[in-house]
Structure 1
Amino acid sequence: MSDFPDPTGVDATEVDPTGVDSDGLSEQAVVLRLRAAGCVFAEDEARLLLDTAADQAGLDAMVRRRIDGLPLEHVLGWAEFCGLRIAVDPGVFVPRRRTEFLVRQAAALGRPGAVVVDLCCGSGAIGAAVASLLGPVELYAADIDPAAVRCARRNVADAGGRVFAGDLFDALPAALLGRVDVLLANVPYVPTEEVGLLPPEARIHEPLVALDGGADGLDVMRRVAREAARWLAPGGSLLVEASERQSRSALDSFAGNGLRPRLAVSQELYSTVVVGTRPATG
């Protein structure tokens, strides 16, 4: 979801109660309407909406969609991620700020010219961000959701990336077997029973396939770990995001499938990344 600094208050007495002035919606009017709808970061959201809207009619429509509970990124049509403006279509998973830590870990393992694969790519934000940090790479992405595939193709185009539709590795060209240097898999990892506890923006407006990770949240991750070593080049690494409480099970799964596991943690972003490296020899 959106990650903005906490805004200051707004004096409701300064705002026309109709929300409209002679020139249409004012910034303060937008703030007031967003606050009344429960938007915590109303001032920052208002500025983004005002900057993005083409005209007053468009602004009013965007404010109404946001008040109706649509994620801000879906209203804007984009999300800021790793300094990039990532297109995010309605119904597509919104890249989280905490996942920028996964991108940094991946970039530290890669190099220009590396073969990079972004599984469960969603909008393609992770692959696009890694490519922007490493320079020219051979970038591939895949997702089972057709809407995500269409969106990702736009976001990885500047990096020359190719996006495939299908279930995990089944979507990838067989020519990539044993060649992947950096394998990114931002798999769903919310336990099934906890999906209903997610904020409405996620559980109502994002695809369930991008959220539900099975009974303990690690079903999809285990499927990726079982096949990763076949696709990784010697010395190549798989990186996934998980919760802190899942990290021990994830490490065990990586080790049990021929990968050398380690954990990377960012307290600042509340992010836990599990890294598994295929041994360079043996």
Structure 2
Amino acid sequence: MTKTNQFQALLKQPGSFILPGGYDAMSARLIEEAGFKAIYATGAGISNAQLGWADVGLTSLKEVADIVARMTDVTTIPIVVDADTGFGNAINVMRTVREFERAGAAAIQLEDQVSPKKCGHFNGKDVISKEEMVGKIKAALDSRYDENLAIMARTDALAVNGIENALERAHAYAEAGADIIFVEAPTTLEQLKQITSSLKGIPQVINLVEGGKTPLISLNEAEEIGFKIILCANTVLRSAIKGITESLKILKAEGSQENVRDLICTWEERQSLFKLNQIKVWEEKYSEKQALFKGGS
């Protein structure tokens, strides 16, 4: 089964699921090995980890596509790609979809912010017209080589124009053919319930950002309200930042690695994650001695 088919099947299965954010090949592999069913290639995480800057639209299409390709190379589960605004207008969206399809994406998220965009939980956002975003969605759908590639449409209009405009846009994006709807940054439980009750029959996303604008609720609570996908885009990156910071503090203060042991993985865990044993198998299989033994040159 292709990864696009895997993701479509996941959308159709009963129940909701958590979608953790990864930002490189290592984090993607860790998410899969932890048992999650899909990975979110987070634009904010890629900007933070690869550029060292906040999520304010600084990454380029090719930079993100290169990271996504590395993530898909080392995993077997579907990857949902945060494509921000599509990196331009509807024509840019067409190229964006093709680039991410080549990189192995199973789903692509597009949002209706102006470019350059900002993190959905930052202040000071603005949005393009509903009509322009509908055109982008249609361009994305028409550009797919694989009709099973899912298109996720996100609106940031709630913070700009209010809940009614956000819901109006969400309905328009669903009517345009988006497979998944994502109303970003609701601020109350009442708004969460209003969103799902207004958009029944289509998979919906709740983005849970620790310290962000949306109330943190559990998987069971989100499922009960009606959300299909519980996006935890920042959790992995922020846990990595915390762990690295704590290890460096101890190393700097004590001048020794002795007391960082509880904060780091073992040597064996590291080599297992990065498949050293598999590499050794390949080395043996394709070694010069093996070739000579089989009569090769």
**TM-score, normalised with respect to structure 2:** 0.27
Structure with greater proportional strand content:
1
Structure with greater proportional helix content:
2
**TM-score, normalised with respect to structure 1:** 0.28
- Which is bigger in relative contact order (C-alpha 8 A, separation at least 6)? 2
